[in-house]
Amino acid sequence: MDELFDITGKVSVITGGAGILCSEMARGLGKKGSKIAILDLNEEQAKAVAEEITSHGGTAIAVKADVLDKNSLEKARDVVLQTYGEVDILINGAGGNKKEATTSDTFEFFDIPPEAIQWVFNLNLLGTVLTTQVFGEVMAKRGEGVIINISSMASLRPLTRVIGYSTAKAAINNFTAWMAVHFNLNYSKNIRVNALAPGFFLTDQNRFLLTDEATGEPTKRGRQIMDHTPMGRYGVPEDLIGTLIWLVSDASQFVNGIVVPIDGGFAAYSGV
């Protein structure tokens, strides 16, 4: 059984790997013996994550990269190939939301500036497409690879307020299926593309929506989420790791083009 989930020596490239969820994914893959490349705009934090992994006996490098700049991604790809010689796993983790693309009691949908929607679409969708072009080409040439896109529960059950984010993550789901088919029909039957859709994880991206900045108490929205999560808690980054290892390993060798919710039952619950 262990063989099915074995990723020893596989090279994993993780964008947004310095962030809260993806740094945990990097640690999880590192513990399973994968060689990690953390790509992030935040070089200092990426280095800290890489050092933490190596201090625990793993193998990791930090590479500064901007997922919105193809040239920067190509430079990062060259560093990864020079260091490890291969790319087996790509995790498109860089993503997020912006207050200016989020409605509130005092900020109407009609007033959202186009730049804010554009910003959220660029970071979540375009960043994933560009990174898949650069690292997916390496996989296409070799005829092998696994890609994991990071979607969100907001893509499956559009959430109030986060209009830019919900629509951009829905586009990620469509892209995941599209890319899975495209690789198989045009390049190799041994390339898979799937996505994770995390539910509610309390992180920097959504803290302003879920907890009151002044008091730290849950907002009305935070309480609503809890009331609609049958498992009764927010996710913690560690909750993602088991599903991630399954999807990047041979354990899921015939799973392709899907989006897996990790949400404590949120999507399953009608509230009644």
Contact map string, positions 66 to 105, toward ligand NAD, x by CB under 6 A: xxx------------------------xxxx---------
Residue from the set 13, 14, 29, 41 that interacts with ligand NAD by CB under 6 A? 41
Residue 123: other Cβ atoms inside 10 A: 21
Residue 218: other Cβ atoms inside 10 A: 16
Q: In the annotation, is 269 catalytic? A: no
Dihedrals phi, psi of 35, to nearest 5 degrees: -90, 125
In the complex, the smallest distance separating the C-beta of residue 143 from ligand NAD, rounded to whole angstroms, is 27
For residue 144, what are the contacts with CB-CB under 8 A and spacing of at least 6?
88, 188, 190, 191
CA dihedral 4, 8, 11, 13 (to 10 degrees): 70
- Spatial distance between the Cα atoms of 114 and 109, rounded to a whole number of angstroms: 11
Nearer to ligand NAD, 187 or 225 (CB): 225
Choose, from 165, 187, 234, 269, the residue flagged as catalytic: 165
In the complex, the smallest distance separating the C-beta of residue 42 from ligand NAD, rounded to whole angstroms, is 4
Nearer to ligand NAD, 24 or 88 (CB): 24
For residue 142, what are the contacts with CB-CB under 8 A and spacing of at least 6?
86
- Residues 165-194: b if buried by 16+ CB within 10 A, e if exposed: bbbbbbbbbebbbebbebbbeebbeebbbb
Site membership for ligand NAD, residue 22 (CB under 6 A): yes
Residue from the set 11, 14, 21, 260 that interacts with ligand NAD by CB under 6 A? 21
- Spatial distance between the Cα atoms of 16 and 31, rounded to a whole number of angstroms: 19
Nearer to ligand NAD, 134 or 150 (CB): 150
Stretch that binds ligand NAD, among 27-35, 63-71, 99-107, 138-146 (CB under 6 A): 63-71
**Using CB under 6 A, which residues numbered 109 to 138 contact ligand NAD?**
123, 127
- Spatial distance between the Cα atoms of 124 and 127, rounded to a whole number of angstroms: 6
Residue from the set 59, 83, 184, 203 that interacts with ligand NAD by CB under 6 A? 203
Residues that bind ligand NAD in the complex, under the rule CB under 6 A: 15-16, 18-22, 40-42, 65-68, 93-96, 123, 127, 150, 152, 198, 200-201, 203-206
